[in-house]
Amino acid sequence: MIYHAKSVVNATKGALVVVDMPFGTCSGNPIKSLESAIRIMQETGADALKIEGGKEIQEDVKKIVDAGIPVMSHLGLMPQSINKYGTYTVRAKEEKEAKKLIDDCLLMEELGCFSIVLEKIPAILAAEISQKVKVLIIGIGAGGEVDGQVLVIHDMMGINKDFSPKFSRRYADLYSVMTEATRNYIKDVKENSFPNQSESY
């Protein structure tokens, strides 16, 4: 994660760079979590960290925030916990899980998180949470009544052909463009028309 984040930071001007805490680096041991967080911040030059989890990791989040590191919380569907869920279906549809999600959002705000990502939850619940908390709510599959939206670049540009979640919108069809370009390249190489004389030294 440090390698990838450094590459993004080096290529970025005027944008907030938030780095995901990798799986297992924030899981109930606040001292180890803080050590990982400090290392990521020092070695990448990023602006903030994103951490998946609620009440279960509150001590980790508190330790990191208290150390002066900006934290964006990630709740709802949490991809790092997919083995626990067993599926990528919509989260917090049932009252018990919805209440826990609201409580976790309020807790993360209280702990000092500057923003919360809500992934794949009912739009009406995301709207309710947006009204209850003061920090920015960023949605990914959480409806339009939030402060900002996530759309993965591969989905936006249509690079993925087979994966198309309901909340995604394709703004281009780069899969077809790239496929055709690759076929043409292979054809030209096989026919010995690439490179031609003007493309050679």
Cα 19 to chain centroid distance, Å, stands at 9
The residue to which tokens 């009912």 are assigned = 122
Three-state DSSP class for 119?
A: strand
119 is catalytic: yes
CA angle (72 as vertex; 29, 136 as ends), nearest 5? 145
Cα 78 to chain centroid distance, Å, stands at 9
In whole angstroms, what is the distance from residue 166 CA to residue 185 CA? 34
Supply the DSSP symbol for 15: S
Three-state DSSP class for 71?
A: strand
In whole angstroms, what is the distance from residue 28 CA to residue 39 CA? 18
Q: Which two tokens stand for residue 146?
A: 């939030």
**Which position among 43, 59, 109, 119 bears the catalytic label?**
119
Amino acid at 68: G
The residue to which tokens 């909340």 are assigned = 167
Supply the DSSP symbol for 138: E
Residues forming the active site: 119
